[in-house]
A and B are shown apart, each in its own frame.
Chain A
Amino acid sequence: MKRPLLLTGTASGVIACAFVLLNSLPGCRPSGTTKSVVTGDAASKVYVKPGTHDEFYNLVSGGFSGQLAVYGLPSGRLLREVPVFSVDPESGYGYSEESKGMLTTSHGFIPWDDSHHPELSQTDGIPDGKWCFINGNNTPRIALVDLGTFRTGSIIEIPNSAGNHSSPFTTGNSEYVVAGTRFSVPMGDDASRDVPIKTYKENFKGNVSFIHPEPETGKMSIAFQIVTPGVNFDLSHAGKGPSEGWFFFSCYNTEQAYSLLEVNASQRDKDFIMAVNWKLAEQLAKDGKGKRVPGKHHSNWWNERTHSSETTVYEDVLQLDPKDHPGLLYFMPCPKSPHGCDVDPTGKYIVGSGKLAALIPVFSFEKMQKAIAANDVEGDFAGIPVLKYESVLHGEVKKPGLGPLHTEFDANGNAYTSFFVSSEIVKWNVEKLEVVDRVPTYYSIGHLCVPGGDSKKPWGKYVIAYNKITKDRYLPTGPELTQSAQLYSIDGDKMELLLDFPTTGEPHYAQAIPAELVKPREVKFFKIEENEHPFAAKGEKETKIERRGKEVHVWMTTIRSHFAPDNIEGVKLGDEVYFHITNLEQDWDVPHGFAIKGAANAELLLMPGETQTLKWVPTRVGVTPMYCTDFCSALHQEMQGYVRVSPANSNVPLTALTVSVDAEM
């Protein structure tokens, strides 16, 4: 837990008190002294026999790694790290000529991000195993990972946004995923104006974007944005069942502070949950009630036929101003600095989690509708009606713990809330608002996950804690320890710790889904007949080499256990060489690698039937070896070749050689 060291004036006194208070509370961790409480035969409950599969996929954000990690549950085994927002030299993602476009934005090529919230696509409010969305906080983007290939299929940039945190939560049929801006910023026509930061109240606006993924292709576009008062949006969830058609966003900094937010944005007793009537917004957008404002952004899409990215650049975006459209937005007061904003499986209740609150408020959708009908408001905030807290409240869970953060649900009417400050998971009954169980976590849990726990149909069985601090749980590795998740059984009356497992990056947020919903979708290889890459060589017969000015293009193939061609001559210093490599294999799990000495970018890892291009600029005269990096067969070490680089003024003819065994010798 980082605390400020530099404070001025009266603010320091306020913070100092809070600091003492939080750290002197009983149960406040990490203390490093709490012993593991694994009891009984936990090991057998997480043991997955060799040759058998895990029951669930667990899709976990990589946080500052910018990636999405895939674990099996209950074993906690890492199955894959999917490159999303960050380049990946292992596969060439973001380095190959075809994939660079996935990471282009209106700011240029941005090869990293801070990815926070995976969200599974849904059908009828239930995860369907088709896609997993994930956000990039830094240069606001949303990505779609195709669960048929576990690859990034689409990335869209969000204009008029900064710190794309409250995203990408989905509607019940993934009509939309949303993106709320964490920072309010000058936007639209004001975006490029040079304004003083102290004019925050006047010039800074918030907004929430509704992004539509095309059901067939997964191509994403922004359907509309809704402009909001300048606050910070944190998390979000769509309504379901009776609350279908609404979206809820937690927001903080209703003080509209722009400096020392930890003090200045914690002044008010209550911030808000913003309720959005998205069905109405959709209708207004369709009826042409919005306004197109400047907002340049890229939408990148991975074409699995051409094995290449395609980019559409949009110059503007459709915005709806709630001032013109009463009934579009409402605020519900929520104590205090709310983070989580979670809708229970019935869709009747919305749970706010105030990071600085000592209770959990539960709102009733039905009461909210009645309050709207009766105009039961306590006033307005920058023109948006604020409904009366008591009128929309189902009730409060009193003294549940410290620092409530995020709530997920089981299928039996129970909620599980993570408590950052007191490092625990608290189970409580949604109707009765009574705490029924609690377990410690190690340490400073952020988010948690129940399989299907934010959908209409939780599968239950486990709750997984994603911890910010690891301290004494694993072998030390210098000052930095591995990040950590913990698996608990929720089958019985008492939650039971079964397993700690290390994670990559920061396991910020996660989703879990039964493996049976994903496994049948898996792509085993790309059909070579369907390969429409402009430089594909479908068979060794199509391999060739061609000079185009200073560019040398090589159509090359791989198969166990050779490249064709495997010798190239006539490349000159000053040339740019493009290796267009097609993997001719048509079987599951037979990638080939391609690496060349001195390559300044990366290697390639080519899946069966796929074509990718590595650009190589030779820097010296001589013979340069190239080889396969993926151990593909007993003759893998023989999978190699040479490129001869001649001086710029040489007249060595451009030649590609593969010497047939049937050739005359």
Chain B
Amino acid sequence: MRLLKTSLAKVTLVAGFAAITACGDGTASTPPGASGPPGAAAASEEAAPAGLITAAEITLGEIDQAMVEKGKATYDVKCQACHSTGPNRVVGPGWKGVTERRKPEWIMNMMLNIDVMLETDPEAQKGLEECLVRMPNQGLSKDQGREVLEFMRTL
């Protein structure tokens, strides 16, 4: 929104809205850790339901700036409406620090296999209970998902 920034400061959010901004994994309520959240296990190799992306399929190296830019472009069109790059929830959780809280394959599956995740993954289900809006399938290709993940790593 071109004219957005200038008009922000004066606006007060109603209390009810402020109260639910703690929804989902966008806040510090999920502790980051090497073992990842319990739900991430559902997406691990041995227990992964058919079709889910496994850890073995994703390699994270140095930040690839070209991929970041493509990821950002996809974010602008397809994700930004619901996810801020800051800490707070819009419809879904804010993305700041998300790659520290969630395993890469969990994030990829939320982007690409949302229906299976909402059926099988306890952490995904917990997110839905809090946000109450099913994460839309935005029709991303696997490459686009990977690029968005790269963009997330920079946040």
Contacts and interface: CB of A to CB of B under 8 A. Distances in A.
Residue of B76, B77, B88, B90 with most chain A CB atoms under a 10 A cut-off: B77
B138 interface: yes
B78 interface: yes
Given A539-B76, A539-B77, A544 B1 contact: yes
Given A560-B91, A660-B8, A665-B13, A539 B137 contact: no
Contact of A540 (B3, B80, B133): B80
A538 B78 CA distance: 8
A107 interface: no
Interface string B117-139: 00000000000000011101111
B9 interface: yes
B63 to A, nearest CB: 22
B113 interface: no
Contacts of A527: 139
A557 B8 contact: no
B71 interface: no
B77 A587 contact: no
A543 B21 CA distance: 24
B1 A661 contact: no
A585 B91 contact: no
A540 B1 contact: yes
Interface in B81-132: 81-82, 84, 86-91, 94, 132
A585 B136 contact: yes
Contacts of A480: none
Contact of A557 (B7, B9, B81, B137): B81
Contacts of B91: 559-562, 635
Interface string A272-301: 000000000000000000000000000000
B11 interface: yes
Interface in B1-31: 1-4, 7-9, 11-13, 21
Contacts of A655: 3, 7
A545 interface: yes
A392 interface: no
A540 B2 CA distance: 10
A539 B78 contact: yes
A584 interface: yes
Interface string B135-155: 011111000000000000000
A-B pairs with lowest CB-CB distance, top 3: A662-B86, A586-B139, A539-B77
16 contacts: A525-B139, A527-B139, A528-B78, A539-B76, A540-B76, A541-B80, A560-B91, A562-B91, A564-B1, A584-B78, A657-B1, A659-B11, A660-B8, A660-B84, A662-B86, A662-B88
Given A561-B133, A660-B4, A665-B13, 16 more contacts: A540-B80, A560-B91, A561-B91, A565-B1, A565-B4, A586-B140, A633-B134, A635-B91, A657-B7, A658-B4, A660-B8, A661-B86, A662-B84, A662-B86, A663-B11, A665-B9
